Amino acid sequence: MSKSYISTKLRKLVSDRAQNCCEYCLIPESLTLVSHQVDHVIAEKHGGKTTEENLALSCSLCNQAKGSDIASIDLETGDVIRLYHPRQDQWRENFQIEESSGVIYPLTAIGRVTIQLLKINRSACLPYRQMLAQAKILVQK
């Protein structure tokens, strides 16, 4: 799928706004081997625009798992629930991090489907997130 060109200026705005951390799983770009990517929160094929309000910084693993999806099935209720929207939702209202483990728990159905679809608790992330949470330097919006 072809993607719209994202200018250097727009990419910098998105990275700076996110403090260089994935806006889904919170992992800082400095801890990853692959650069974070600019994610269309609502994918272009669903009409999402290449504008600040529809862009988020995502690590390559979250971005790959999310693909062009905008919703998933909540396994607890069977309902179709939209994914977390970093520009419209508050991270802290939808997720909570357990400092002792680095695991992110959902506070809402939106949190639940997003954690599940994006595989936010992938094991490779946990030691880093645990360390950053305990040092109180995770960016949680």
Of 20-28, 82-90, 109-117, 127-135, the segment contacting Zn ion by CB under 5 A is: 20-28
Count of CA atoms in the C-beta half-sphere (13 A) of 28: 13
| Stretch 35-74: interaction string toward Zn ion, x if CB under 5 A | ------------------------x--x------------
Single-letter amino acid code for the residue at 66: K
Residue 24, interface with Zn ion (CB under 5 A)? yes
Contacts of 90 (CB under 8 A, 6+ apart): 141
If the CB atoms of residues 79 and 127 are measured against Zn ion, the closer one turns out to be 127
Residue 60 Cβ vs Zn ion, minimum distance, rounded to whole Å: 8
22 binds Zn ion (CB under 5 A): yes
Contact assessment for residue 125 and residue 97, using Cβ atoms and an 8 Å cutoff: no
